[in-house]
Chain A
Amino acid sequence: MSMLETRSTSAMLYLDGVHVSFDGFHAINNLSLTLEPGEMRAIIGPNGAGKTTMMDIITGKTKPDKGEVVFDGTVDLTKLDETEIAKLGIGRKFQKPTVFESQTIEDNLLLALNVDHSVRGTLFWRRSNDESERIERVLDIIRLRDARDRLAGSLSHGQKQWLEIGMLLAQDPKVLLVDEPVAGMTDVETQQTAELLREINSHDKTVMVVEHDMTFVRELGVKVTCLHEGTVLAEGTIDDVSANERVVEVYLGR
């Protein structure tokens, strides 16, 4: 018990010296990054910087060639697969919104709920009031209550983004990895998404957001990490980072 308490002060996500190469191409180079529990972090960086690959590593999709990836102070994520990592409480929204297109919005949320995911559990599953309430709440938050019976495939790009964020909410993980959430959204929707993420973060969730939209990043008002060629180029407040010469050179000054 005391061990756990001391660890609760350490990082929620801890990456150290991580390397990944694809056929000799070094996508991630000596990447080190730490997220404290309850922290929200914005990740920026040019195309191909390795932002998505970093999320692939954390969620078990890609195995690092070298380096440490530790969750919650103790769990070595490099030893686990996607399912185990998801069960630990790491949820992910993909860069290209990935929802179950041939199923309804409500069913998408139902599938995401963090309840019994065993074969037997789902075979004999019956909806409980608690689950229904959680789905209603999420439907309200993502403003898709009236579209609940529509197929997810019929949603616009922006709505799919929201649905996927809704699935994250239903999944209720400890750590949320959100890859480019506002692509395809209007300015107002972008603003709302920033508010929503701040709201989620205020409930003690650790959040990592990748985004190119600097207005949105500014809106989040959190510490920013700029990645470049698979490694951390700069880290700090948005003003510090955007004033950094190297960042301007490789990213902002495009």
Chain B
Amino acid sequence: MTPHILTRSLDRGAALFLVVLAALGVLLPLLNLLTPESSALHVPTYLISLFGKYVCYAILALSIDLIWGYCGILSLGHGAFFALGGYAMGMYLMRQIGSRGVYGNPVLPDFMVFLNWKELPWYWYGFDMFWFAAVMVLLVPGLLAFCFGWLAFRSRVTGVYLSIITQAMTYALLLAFFRNDFGFGGNNGLTDFKDILGFNIQSDGTRAALFLLSCLALAIGFLICRAVVTSKLGKVLIAIRDAESRTRFLGYRVESYKLFVFTLSACMAGVAGALYVPQVGIINPSEFAPANSIEAVIWVAVGGRGTLVGAALGAIVVNYAKTVFTSGPLAPYWLFMLGALFVAVTLLLPKGIVGTVNAWLDSHKPPPTDAADSAAREDGVIQPKPAE
């Protein structure tokens, strides 16, 4: 079954995307590790981490495109799943610090000692083991998405109403994680990480490996999404997106389909967050900010909704622009820029970058032969008209 799904899902654009991704994923770390700093080809470590961050955003964008582009579910709270994955990883990294913290407590993270806590809360148990944290990275966002989706989709909450409650969800989590007594470090979040799986988190080698892993995760996420959208299930998703009620009258259980992609998408977002945290070195409640989730939706719109490749590209392009912008004198105006970008894309490039390129390529293909149409005219009264 699996090889079949994979081969079917690879068209030329997808293959190109994977090749470029593989090349970057291998080349950049090599240029970082193997070339001397004086070399023109040298890629500094801070760039590796920066690109690694973009790649994590690309995974998040991909997860949003899967539900929004293919199933019409506009989640404005996907940053919450990203942040939860990030917190799960952050908890593992916190426990790796051990007695090297400021207070030197072998079990309790610094912020707990500071709060005068005597014991590790039960929900921190197990996070000293990487495998456990890795499972939680998928399980926590997945479970939240499943419960949230089960309630929302069964009650047929759709459209803006759904978007609004997803915003409410991430906002509620923001407030909860801000509280010190919630047990996740309050507004400082989790930081001062030392190592991951025994490797120094600051070292060039670890950074390079994390970047490579992020690229790998993006590639795998992309392949999973492709497999989903090119299967018959993908056709059902598009049917739901375009005519939800009609799909029901054909006997499809729409809420099950939505629940499936929503949960899958949340797990992907969780993985993105988990890879993001060791590369930026911190996770705090601001990752739950409703604006973050909205920004991620803009990446997808810019790159091209319903194209997968476009979502990833959009995340990278917009975030690169953000880095350039916010490091210059125009920094205070970034949000205006982002807003303007969104308006411009909506008005001028409603299909996004990749969608527009695809449409252009399609319209420049050699026209199909007329044989089909004329044959229809001979034997049928209903004449297919040319597409235009």
Contact = CB atoms under 8 A, between A and B. Distances in A.
Contacts of A162: 382
B238 A100 contact: yes
Interface in A133-184: 142-147, 150-151, 154-156, 158-159, 162, 167, 171
A118 B254 CA distance: 10
Interface string B216-257: 000000000000100111011011001101111111111011
B12 interface: no
A82 B249 contact: yes
B246 A83 contact: no
A242 interface: no
B118 interface: no
Contact of B380 (A98, A118, A122, A143): A143
B252 A188 contact: no
A159 B385 CA distance: 10
A59 B380 CA distance: 33
B4 A147 contact: no
Contacts of B376: 143, 145-147
A86 B243 contact: no
B384 A150 contact: yes
Interface in B113-154: none
Nearest to B8: A126
A83 B236 contact: no
A80 B233 CA distance: 24
Contacts of A186: 381
A51 interface: no
Given A124-B1, A126-B4, A117 B251 contact: yes
Interface residues of B, number: 37
- Taking residues whose C-beta sits less than 8 angstroms from the other chain, chain A's interface range is 35 or more
B381 to A, nearest CB: 5
B182 to A, nearest CB: 35
Chief secondary structure at chain B's binding surface: helix
Given A101-B242, A117-B253, A82 B248 contact: yes
Given A87-B251, A143-B381, A110 B235 contact: yes
Given A112-B250, A151-B387, A159 B382 contact: yes
Nearest to A113: B250
B375 interface: yes
Contacts of A143: 376, 379-382
Contacts of B254: 83
A100 B252 contact: no
B381 A192 contact: yes
Contact of A86 (B236, B248, B373): B248
B373 A146 contact: yes
Contacts of B161: none
A129 to B, nearest CB: 16
Given A83-B252, A102-B238, A125-B231, A156 B260 contact: no
A81 B248 CA distance: 9
Contacts of B236: 111, 122
Nearest to A142: B382
B372 interface: yes
Contacts of A167: 250
A107 interface: yes
Contacts of B387: 150-151, 154
A100 B239 contact: yes
Contacts of B1: 124
B373 A171 contact: no
Nearest to B261: A119
Nearest to B248: A82
B251 A86 contact: yes
A114 interface: yes
Interface of A: 59, 61, 81-83, 86-87, 91-92, 94, 98-103, 107, 110-112, 114, 117-119, 122-126, 142-147, 150-151, 154-156, 158-159, 162, 167, 171, 186, 188-189, 192
17 contacts: A82-B248, A83-B248, A83-B251, A83-B253, A86-B251, A99-B246, A100-B246, A101-B243, A111-B239, A118-B256, A122-B233, A124-B231, A146-B373, A158-B382, A171-B251, A189-B381, A189-B382
Interface of B: 1, 4-5, 228, 231-233, 235-236, 238-239, 242-243, 245-254, 256-257, 260, 372-373, 375-376, 379-382, 384-385, 387
